């Protein structure tokens, strides 16, 4: 499936095809996964910073992070935004001990904690409701809760957080894919974040152009993450 984005043609891939490209980059080309995460998060942060300045935002960027690699991307984004002088608040859904400190996400979580970023753990929507509502007044919300590997319906407490985000409607940027959207089929898995922008990594995903995908993705941006050209 070929698509055109900003005048450039791309091959749109399934989630499984993207995972295989990542696997080959890591195992066959010996590119450490943490480098791919750094490239993804750093590139996304540049685009978010541009949106922040173009929109003349005054409030903080609120980053909602899950426990997997999508959350790890969120930690990298938060670090880069902080280093760029933009106020940022990180909310991690879960307990600190649930993240393997040796994993790519765990390493980046440790970094933002050592940098003393405003990073807090939350148990559900009630813990972050005020920040999400305040974000609508002049900030940006970054959705890094669920990644492209989602296959089952969204469960609690993430479903309630997504519902809150969609009811408040702050300016929302989804990381790689809107949480809750099957990025292969375009199916909404119970509920999904309605994004104003989606910053996806490597290549666009087929589900962005199918079924409900276009309604949830918003403006689509592509960030290269240094995958070898032969893989793409």
Length of the chain: 232
7-11, 143-147, 182-186: least confidently modelled range: 7-11
Q: Give which of 169, 232, 167 is closest to 195, Cα–Cα.
A: 169
In this structure, CATH architecture of domain 6-223? 3-Layer(aba) Sandwich (3.40)
Instruction: Report pLDDT for 104.
Output: 97
Q: Which long-range contacts (CB under 8 A, 24 or more apart) does 152-157 make?
A: 152/189, 153/189, 153/190, 154/179, 154/180, 154/189, 154/190, 154/191, 154/192, 155/190, 156/124, 157/93, 157/123, 157/124, 157/125
C-alpha of 99 from chain center? 17
pTM: 0.96
- Percent of the chain at pLDDT exceeding 90: 93
Q: Which spans in 145-193 are helix H?
A: 158-168
Joined together, the tokens standing for residue 70 give: 């999508």
Tell me the pLDDT of the chain averaged across its residues: 96
Structural domain boundaries in the chain: 6-223
- The pLDDT of residue 97 is above 90: no
């Amino acid at each position: 499936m070929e698509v055109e984005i900003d005048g450039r043609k791309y091959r749109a891939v399934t989630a499984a095809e993207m995972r295989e490209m990542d696997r080959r980059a890591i195992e066959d080309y010996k590119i450490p996964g943490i480098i791919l995460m750094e490239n993804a998060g750093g590139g996304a942060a540049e685009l978010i910073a541009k949106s922040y300045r173009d929109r003349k935002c005054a409030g903080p960027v609120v980053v909602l992070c899950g426990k997997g690699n999508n959350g790890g991307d969120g930690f990298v984004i938060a670090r880069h935004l902080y280093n760029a002088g933009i106020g940022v608040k990180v909310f991690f859904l879960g307990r600190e001990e649930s993240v393997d400190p040796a994993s790519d996400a765990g390493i980046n979580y440790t970094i933002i904690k050592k940098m003393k970023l405003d990073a807090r753990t939350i148990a559900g929507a009630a813990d972050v409701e005020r920040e999400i509502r305040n974000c609508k007044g002049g900030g940006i919300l970054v959705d890094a809760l669920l990644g492209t590997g989602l296959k089952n319906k969204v469960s609690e407490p993430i479903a309630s957080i997504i519902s809150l985000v969609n009811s408040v409607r702050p300016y929302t940027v989804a990381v790689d894919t809107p949480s809750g959207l099957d990025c292969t089929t375009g199916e909404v898995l119970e509920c999904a974040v309605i994004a104003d922008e989606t910053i996806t990594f490597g290549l666009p995903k087929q589900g962005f152009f199918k079924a409900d995908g276009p309604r949830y993705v918003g403006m689509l941006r592509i960030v290269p993450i240094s995958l070898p050209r032969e893989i793409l």
